[in-house]
Amino acid sequence: MAKKLSIERIIHNQGFGARKLCRIMVWNNEITVNGQPCDDPNTEFELENLSYTVKGEAWQYREKSYLMLHKPSNYECSHKTQHHPTIYSLLPHPLVVRDVQCIGRLDEDTTGLILISDDGQFIHKMSSPKHKVPKVYEVTCKHAVDEAQIAHILKGVQLIDEDAPIAALECTRISENVIHMTLAEGKYHQVKRMVAAISNRVEGLKRIQIGELKLPDDLAVGEWRWLSVDDMMKLAPK
C-alpha cells in the first residue's frame, strides 16, 4: 500500500519549517499539490511521484536528498566556517534545514565535483576507505611534469607520517603542467603532498570525477542539481 502523509507533515519533513508554520502556509493558500491548490493541512497525499509548490516554487517530494555541486574556490565544506563562506550557502534553505552533509571535503582552494546528502548509509558507503571509491583530480602543477614523475606517482611516493608509500590508481599527463590523478583514499592534502613528493607544487586542483560519475560540462561553478537514477548507478560499487 502506497505511503500517505498529510500535506502539513510533508512540507515539514521536506525542510520548510516548524509544523505550525507549515500549517499556516497551507491555510494561506501558499501550497499546491500535483498542480492543485490545497488549503487543508490534514489532507493526505501519496508520496510517490508527488510534486508540490511552496510560495510558487516547484519541488518534488524526496525522502532523502542526493545532490551534486560544482564547488567554487574560496568556499569551505563546513557548516561552521572560519575564513570563507560555506558551500551550504549555495543550496536552497530547506535542504540545509534537512542537515545535508558533503561527502568527502575539498580544501577551500580546491574546486570541482562534490556530493551532498542526508542519507547516512549513502554517505558512509561513498566515504568509507573500505569501499575504495575512485576519485579523479585535474592537477595543474607549477613545473612541467615528465614521464619519470608520472611513473613515481604510479609506483608510490613516501609521505611524512605514512608507514608505506602511497600510489595513485592512475596518473595521466594531459599537458606539460596538467595531470589527471586517480585516488581511492582521501588522506589529508593527499594530492598536494604527493605532487610535493615528486619535487613539484600544485597550482590548481579540481575534482572531475567520483566513481564513474563525471562533473557535467553544463553544471556551472557554484551550481547544484539532484542526482539522477543514472548518476546513482555510476556511483554504485562494481
CATH of the domain at 97: 3.30.70.580
pLDDT in tens, 25-34: 999 999 999 9
Q: Which three cell numbers stand for residue 107?
A: 580544501
pTM of the model: 0.91
Per-residue model confidence (pLDDT) at position 160: 83
Give the residue numbers spanning the domain of 93.
Answer: 66-128+224-235
Q: Which of 60, 86, 104 marks a domain boundary?
A: 60
Per-residue model confidence (pLDDT) at position 161: 81
CATH of the domain at 56: 3.10.290.10
Per-residue model confidence (pLDDT) at position 1: 61
Per-residue model confidence (pLDDT) at position 238: 62
* Residue 194 located in a structural domain: yes
CATH of the domain at 140: 3.30.70.1560
* Residue 151 located in a structural domain: yes
- Asked if 113 and 230 sit in the same domain, the reply is yes
Per-residue model confidence (pLDDT) at position 78: 87
| Residue written as grid cell 521536506 | 14
- Asked if 112 and 177 sit in the same domain, the reply is no
Per-residue model confidence (pLDDT) at position 83: 83
List the catalytic residues. Answer: 107
- Asked if 124 and 15 sit in the same domain, the reply is no
Per-residue model confidence (pLDDT) at position 71: 97
State how many domains the chain has: 3
The per-residue pLDDT string of the chain (238 residues; one tens digit each, 9 = 90 and over) reads: 668 999 999 999 999 999 999 999 999 999 999 999 999 999 999 999 999 999 999 999 999 999 999 999 999 998 887 788 999 999 999 999 999 999 988 989 999 999 999 999 999 989 887 888 999 999 999 999 999 999 999 999 888 888 888 999 999 999 999 999 999 887 778 899 999 999 999 999 999 999 999 999 999 999 999 999 999 999 976 6
